[in-house]
Chains A and B, each alone.
Chain A
Amino acid sequence: EVQLVESGGGLVQPGGSLRLSCAASGFTFSSYNMNWVRQAPGKGLEWVSYIRSSSTTIYYADSVRGRFTISRDSAKNSLYLQMNSLRAEDTAVYYCARGLGYYDMWGQGTLVTVSS
């Protein structure tokens, strides 16, 4: 089955860190560009970060640059998001999404809650 499955979300205190993972299956993960997109509770969608298939190009939204790091391991068919210095405004469901431009496949999301 072709799917993306996120994990690693949870409750973390402000200033803390969390590492999200996204496991890909059913397609050639190494050939696809990947993204993280988040959605705060009751709000719209916000693109967070992009990584090219070869990992040679990486982009971040201004709101997370310098705090978040995207990476991938094609041997493990996995995408990662290391989140440091977390803030209350980072509270959201985080989705991994496949594609450059538009996103034709999404995971089910993992909830990150930043609160004391």
Chain B
Amino acid sequence: EIVMTQSPATLSVSPGERVTLSCRASQSVSSNLAWYQQKPGQAPRLLIYGASTRATGIPARFSGSGSGTEFTLAISSLQSEDFAVYYCQQYHNWPPWTFGQGTKVEIK
């Protein structure tokens, strides 16, 4: 089973700042990585797949990069609606499909 590790667990930022979230896989997942955003009381929403492709309707301020075992989700200028928990997920070796433990982006 591939273990996904996200860092940091919590990120305190101010609106308008640029943020970067990290995700590491225990072995190579090539570019088979997705990012999701989850707000309190809501279902997760797909942001990025294929490590760098934005899902339909996702603003350009969200970008993904990386391959192999190291990945990054960047938000260029944090908006109020971006405060949420972000999860990475690998779909290279399955089953199981595995998620990271999440990074919470909170208001500083």
Residues of A within 8 A of B (CB): 35, 44-47, 50, 59-62, 95, 100-109
Main secondary structure, interface of B, reads loop
- Return chain B residues, CB-CB under 8 Å to A105: 46
Complex interface bits, B65-108 against A, C-beta within 8 A gives 1, otherwise 0: 00000000000000000000001010100111111111000000
Q: Which residue of B lies closest to A103 (CB)?
A: B46
Could you tell me the distance between the alpha carbons of A101 and B95 in the complex, rounded to whole angstroms?
A: 10
Known A102-B34, A102-B49, A104-B55: A47·B98 in contact at CB below 8 Å: yes
A95 & B43 in contact (Cβ 8 Å cutoff): yes
Interface residues of B in 19-75 (CB under 8 A from A): 32, 34, 36, 42-46, 49, 55-56
Q: Are A102 and B46 in contact (CB under 8 A)?
A: yes
Partner-A contacts on B (CB < 8 A): 32, 34, 36, 42-46, 49, 55-56, 87, 89, 91, 94-102
With a 10 A CB-CB cut-off, give which of B32, B96, B98 has the most chain A CB atoms: B96
> Would you call A107 and B43 a contact (CB within 8 A)?
yes
**If A102-B34, A102-B89, A106-B44 touch, does A61 touch B96 (CB 8 Å cutoff)?**
yes
B43 and A106 form a contact (CB under 8 A): yes
Contacts of A95 in B (CB 8 A): 43-44
Q: Do the beta carbons of A106 and B45 come within 8 Å of each other?
A: yes
Q: Which residues on the B side are within 8 Å of A107 (C-beta)?
A: 43
| A-B CB proximity, top 6 nearest | A101-B91, A102-B34, A106-B43, A59-B95, A102-B49, A45-B99
Can you report 8 residue pairs joining A to B where beta carbons are below 8 Å apart?
A: A45-B44, A46-B99, A47-B99, A60-B95, A95-B43, A102-B34, A103-B44, A104-B46
In the assembly, what is the distance between CA of A35 and CA of B45, in Å? 15
